Amino acid sequence: MKKRRFFWTLEKEFVNENNDFLYFGYACDQFCDVYSEFGNAAKIPDNEPQSIQAYITNGKQPLTLSSFTDVYGSPCRYIYVELGTIEKKFVPTKYLNNLLHDKVNVYLPDEYYLAVNDNFQLFYRGVIQAVNPYNYYIEIKTKYGKVFPRYYEWKPTINQIGTYELTLNVYDNNRNLLGSDKTKLIVNNSLKENSQQNILCIGDSLTSGGIWVNEAYRRYAESGGNPAGDSKNYLNFIGTKSTTNYPNVGFEGYPGWTWQNFMGAESPFFDENTNKISFKNYVENNSYEDIDYVYILLTWNGMTEKFKTDFNLGDGHFKYAQEMLDLIHSEFPDAKIRLMGLQIPSQNGGMGTNYDVNSVYGDAYGMLVTAMNYNKKLEELSNLDKYKEFVNYIDIAGQFDTDFNMPTSGKPVNNRNEETEIIGSNGVHPTTNGYYQIADAVYRSFYNDFKVSL
């Protein structure tokens, strides 16, 4: 690729009486090498701010940067020059739009599963880490579908079965790239008739009402309804809990629970004879035939920090998650496990309704960041070599419309005005339509699991 060269002269003199280092701050859209007349070079990771150091001699010396080369063809953007301490910071006006804080994180999973004749929607709020993602220019690049202000959608046809790459770019008003990520859209057509598949759904309060479990079952196993069911009645949902509307559809959902609870003595999987968790004993005691698939939606409970970005696979939720995955696989080596990510919490007041200012959950955007990073680590867990053959990550956040499918109510605009505004009335528990969107993501996963081999 042809190299681009550009030149930048600092119209300023620095006095360096203490042999300080000169710092050049910059950011790049792509991997690139940077060279200066001072002989510095640095390999820059994608979209990460970096700094290089150039040592200059004592005394008053004009500085000129020249021949900065981007070996991949996309110029690096220089953010500031700093001598010694921050009090000497110098920011050229033409680079003000590229300050480091303008970076936007995008969290797309490795893949989304799509079903023929099912309308897939990717909601920007669920994958772009921003207080207001709609303030940016969002570009979708892929082969099929349509782009709308809040989401991308595509209803694939039978002739579009296959895998397609989708790129989501986030730009500022001057089309400076601030963030980008890619995913794969995997379109399947489920016509294959299988033998009975025994499915165990595990979760907290989002599962305890059975709404998403029942709807996922209805869409695949029954006929009629909207969207119409597929009449594939070989799915058998096992579990000790059920609802009046679907007494034959079982699940295990308990409000307030985390991975740790399900691996403890209160768990429905606890074997009192051995004082250990045993899924095999659970199946035998309840006269279930087998476990073929496990869908797990955990955990909005037990989050200890807002703006948490450093989840560790070796402790906290992920320690108990791995214990559960290891145990299920040891007792049911043919079972497939599907880890479901968290949906984005209410961003229009629901967190404030349920939690006070001293709770980490009381910060709606802070918990959005925590949820996105939890999901990222959950996908990382599923991709570990020890799990990747039988564990898949299902991203719920991108398929969930938190702007409209979280509960709301009218609230006076202030203490002295009876006019009302719509404010969120629940922080993390969706409306029925929101639960249906979670079910839709599971339904699309069924299409990937039970697809016809091409």
Which domains does the chain show, CATH number per domain? 4-102 (no CATH), 105-188 (2.60.40.10), 197-449 (3.40.50.1110)
Question: Position 372: which residue type?
Answer: M
Average pLDDT estimate for 281-302: 97
Residue 396's CB is within 10 A of a number of other CB atoms, namely: 24
Question: What pLDDT score does 1 carry?
Answer: 37
Tell me: pLDDT of 339 over 90: yes
**pLDDT tens for each residue of 407-446:** 999 999 999 999 999 999 999 999 999 999 999 999 999 9
Tell me: pLDDT of 140 over 60: yes
Tell me: pLDDT of 383 over 90: yes
Q: Cα 397 vs. chain centroid, distance in angstroms?
A: 6
**pLDDT tens for each residue of 23-63:** 444 444 333 333 333 333 333 344 443 333 333 333 334 34
| Residue matched to tokens 């599963």 | 113
* pLDDT classification of 192: cutoffs 50, 70, 90: low
- If you average pLDDT over every residue of the chain, what do you get? 83
200-209, 221-230, 400-409, 427-436: range with lowest mean pLDDT: 221-230
Question: What pLDDT score does 175 carry?
Answer: 83
Residues 10 and 38 sit within 8 Å (Cβ to Cβ): no
- d(CA 115, CA 395) in angstroms, rounded, equals 15
In terms of C-beta density within 10 A (0-12 exposed, 13-18 middle, 19 or more buried), how is residue 252 classed? buried
Average pLDDT estimate for 272-285: 97
Please give the residue that has the higher pLDDT: either 86 or 290: 290
The string of DSSP letters for 303-345 reads ---TT-----TTSHHHHHHHHHHHHHHHH-TT-EEEEEPPPPP
| Residue matched to tokens 């900065």 | 68
**pLDDT tens for each residue of 170-185:** 998 888 888 999 999 9
> Sign of dihedral through CA atoms 369, 373, 376, 382?
negative
Please give the residue that has the higher pLDDT: either 367 or 39: 367
- For a pLDDT cut of 70, what percent of the chain falls above it? 76
Tell me: pLDDT of 65 over 60: no
Question: What pLDDT score does 92 carry?
Answer: 36
Q: For 57, phi and psi rounded to 5 degrees?
A: -80, 175
Average pLDDT estimate for 310-338: 97
- For a pLDDT cut of 90, what percent of the chain falls above it? 72
Question: What pLDDT score does 363 carry?
Answer: 97
- d(CA 108, CA 129) in angstroms, rounded, equals 11
Q: Cα 305 vs. chain centroid, distance in angstroms?
A: 17
In terms of C-beta density within 10 A (0-12 exposed, 13-18 middle, 19 or more buried), how is residue 299 classed? buried
* pLDDT classification of 288: cutoffs 50, 70, 90: very high
Average pLDDT estimate for 152-157: 98
